[in-house]
Structure 1
């Protein structure tokens, strides 16, 4: 199994190292740590053509200074990337992880992401990034774009790490949730944990019961002893209350739906849970 760990060196990224190490200690994995220097950080502020107003000689001197600034900035960004990747490697190595690849790219993470996603089985990234302290209720822009675009499972990690004992799968019988259940039963990372299964019925309670029963049978056949519960009402509210009331440490659910209009008007269940959750969320598309 290969994990693509995206980092920007922020507090949230450092917590993602801890969760990645937790997975690595429970199964054989290779970890590629990816840091992307934002292309905009490589560019000095471009000066408009002032040659007519300040004179050609002065203008040439200004251009020379801008070139020097750009070169120095590139060197600084390279050192920063090297430091962040080395810090990630040191942390993972301290948790006895030995299969680590360090990768530095320059560009835009969202654009470069697919270049590395294809060889990965799991994507890990922090819930927010470098500007976390400036907008406490917002999701990281890169995180949300990657989760929406990725075809691989994405583990979104919170601000703080906590040991994992109880896992919740929100199951609705859809393709994304079936992938999630297959993942749980296939990989040993969840094998000895307390598994909870919930289905939230919004209209058709009979179908919801059928889905929950089917999920329970699959989990039981994989040697789990799942705690199953059928809930009714608003999905975000019921899911969040269940997490709090049962001290859930790890949430698994299907990712963003396709109803873009609904997302624009009231926000998707995925986005709402990511905003409100203080535990890691594993998303499947």
Structure 2
């Protein structure tokens, strides 16, 4: 089974960004690209019960009409998805991707991706879906569930593509972020792109040796790399560094598994995703 870049698209304003970042990643990784659209036939927001206290005959008639209406909606949603996938495929081909595939599934996005994750090398998703509130401070609930469920790298992207020219890796010496350094070192995704490594914490001997290891690992693989140790609150410190160094893409470890790690790390991950203006690559 060939691992591929998989791009989840819907009717949100983020879909164009998803298409373009997925096309870039597919070409950089030399991996096939598949666009995925999922029809959720069980929306979370319950429809209003219109049957009311009607007489039996009228109620049965109305329920039959509602069932027909649901069937029509499902057909319309499927056709909309088909057209979105067609447009996404054409957009990727225009950007030089060779023969991108399309897949349409019924169900929930999270369950579908969990089922397909053995095929995924990198998942590309938008910050929010089409049903989410468009406030920039909002993080789509689907995205948060996807990040917690999947054990594959996830690239969360904004609505407009910008080729990454400077990458920041948030590093804490943990197993996940050490694997992240090794993954970045050998991945063609950021060939020729300077990598900044930042530890948020005190200037200690341990932190300095961790940082030195990360920088030497990246440099030995041919990357231009520089690093820093900064004191402060994690999310605010990383955000300030991004602005100061004009970073285009943030790489960080996602939620931990244990309850205490979830409390410490999960809240930081969510805050970084919620406040991110550029793309974020999450490693598991």
The verdict on a shared fold, with TM-score over 0.5 as the criterion, is yes
Pairing of 1:3-152 with structure 2 (within 5 A): 3-40=5-42, 53-56=54-57, 58-152=58-152
Q: How many residues align?
A: 281
Q: Contact between 2:51 and 2:59, CA under 8 Å: does it hold in 1?
A: no
Q: Contact between 1:29 and 1:99, CA under 8 Å: does it hold in 2?
A: no
CA distance in 1, matches of 2:161, 2:213: 32
- Give the direction of change, closer, same or farther, for the CA distance of 1:197–1:282 in structure 2 (3 Å limit): same
CA distance in 1, matches of 2:282, 2:265: 20
What is the alpha-carbon root mean square deviation over aligned residues?
Answer: 2.5
- Give the direction of change, closer, same or farther, for the CA distance of 1:214–1:237 in structure 2 (3 Å limit): same
CA distance in 2, matches of 1:188, 1:208: 27
CA distance in 1, matches of 2:47, 2:39: 14
Structure 1, unpaired ranges of 5+: none
CA distance in 2, matches of 1:228, 1:10: 36
CA distance in 2, matches of 1:262, 1:174: 11
- Residue in 2 that maps onto 1:194: 194
- Residue in 2 that maps onto 1:169: 169
- Residue in 2 that maps onto 1:215: 214
Secondary structure in structure 2 of the residue aligned to 1:35? strand
Deviations 1:51-95 (A, max 9, x none): xx5243x34432332232122112111111111111111111111
CA distance in 2, matches of 1:224, 1:266: 28
CA distance in 2, matches of 1:261, 1:137: 25
Secondary structure in structure 2 of the residue aligned to 1:233? coil
Q: Name which of structure 1's ranges 263-272 and 239-248 shifts more when overlaid on structure 2.
A: 263-272
Q: Could you tell me how far 1:240 is from its partner in structure 2?
A: 0.6
TM-score by length of 2: 0.90
Q: Which has the larger radius of gyration?
A: 1
Q: Name which of structure 1's ranges 132-141 and 69-78 shifts more when overlaid on structure 2.
A: 132-141
Q: Contact between 1:39 and 1:107, CA under 8 Å: does it hold in 2?
A: yes
- Residue in 2 that maps onto 1:228: 227
Structure 2, unpaired ranges of 5+: none
Q: Could you tell me how far 1:13 is from its partner in structure 2?
A: 2.2
Q: Contact between 2:23 and 2:97, CA under 8 Å: does it hold in 1?
A: yes
Deviations 1:172-206 (A, max 9, x none): 1111112211221122121101111111225x722
